[in-house]
Amino acid sequence: MAKYFRLSRQCHTRAMALLDGAPVSHDTLLALGFVNYGHFTTMRVENGRVRGLVHHLDRLDRDCRLIFAAHLDHERVREYVRQAVEDVDGSIIVRVTVFDPDLELSHPGATAHPRILITTRPTGSLPLSPIRVQTVRYQRDLPQVKNVGLFGVLRNRRTAQLDGFDDALLIDQASLVAEGTTWNVGFYDGERVVWPSGDILEGITMRLLQQVHDRTSTVPIHVDDIPRMQAAFATNAAIGVRPISVIDDVALHADHPIFETLRKEYEAIPAEHL
């Protein structure tokens, strides 16, 4: 008999996993780990609401069409997420992973029938403390897709931590800033919030901040431009706006007023019901 993974209602605020709304089997999770082909989005659910929910759903459908040539129904995703958080009060992190457990390593070109895996984990207290990051030359495969292939970014994160930093900031071969390992990076130059252009994953939180902060631009940012910046921050759905205090040997303001401004603007965005 296959083993299933679903925690009790009493403890599922810590972690749980459901596949298409049902307990997920051990064999199915093995298939995801073995083939490791799929995509996902991560959202912060607060009392049944999500900021930027429509953007998360659009991302899932877009990426599903791109890597599986299949449509993903928005309402189906919402139903499964609602089921996963129905007894949760407060905030929880929900990851929606789309993959086909029947897709074989030797034949990934077969017609795919993607399924929806919902996993949850606790949220951390916000705001988070500043981080120190190390630049590294690296570009993710198909960077515009939030794909499940995380080996490269985790290896760079590990290397940065072994070098005494908290995380890695990815730059391209021309030394242009791209993104963090699992987050977007923004800068404040004293007048505007500046986002790097180039081949990156446009995060939902980044997109929302661009919409609500008036003085925003997207331009190429060279590593040599970093010392001229007043502040830098990491951002994604789980961490919100997190200051970056050091990039390589460049110290930045970890308590700049721009962080509080961005947090207030972000928190003022109406969240959508699941």
With beta carbons less than 8 A apart as the criterion, state whether 192 and 238 touch: no
Q: Order the strands of the 38-46 sheet from edge to edge.
A: 4-5, 22-25, 16-19, 115-121, 91-99, 38-46, 49-50, 272-273
- What value does the mean pLDDT take over residues 180-199? 97
What is the pLDDT at residue 58?
Answer: 98
- What value does the mean pLDDT take over residues 91-117? 96
Strand 240-247 vs strand 131-137: parallel, antiparallel, or unpaired?
parallel
**What's the CATH number where 229 sits?**
3.20.10.10
In this structure, the answer to whether residues 135 and 233 fall within a common structural domain is yes
pLDDT, tens digit (0-9, with 9 covering 90-100), for 159-174:
999 999 999 999 999 9
In this structure, the answer to whether residues 246 and 170 fall within a common structural domain is yes
Structural domain contains residue 228: yes
State pTM to two decimals.
0.92
In this structure, the answer to whether residues 166 and 90 fall within a common structural domain is no
- What value does the mean pLDDT take over residues 207-222? 97
The region of weakest confidence among 30-34, 56-60, 188-192, 214-218 is: 30-34
In this structure, the answer to whether residues 204 and 166 fall within a common structural domain is yes
Structural domain contains residue 232: yes
Q: Provide the number of structural domains found in the chain.
A: 2
Neighbours of 59 (CB within 10 A): 24
- Cis peptide leading into residue 220 (ω within 30°): no
With beta carbons less than 8 A apart as the criterion, state whether 209 and 52 touch: no
Residue 19: domain span: 4-121
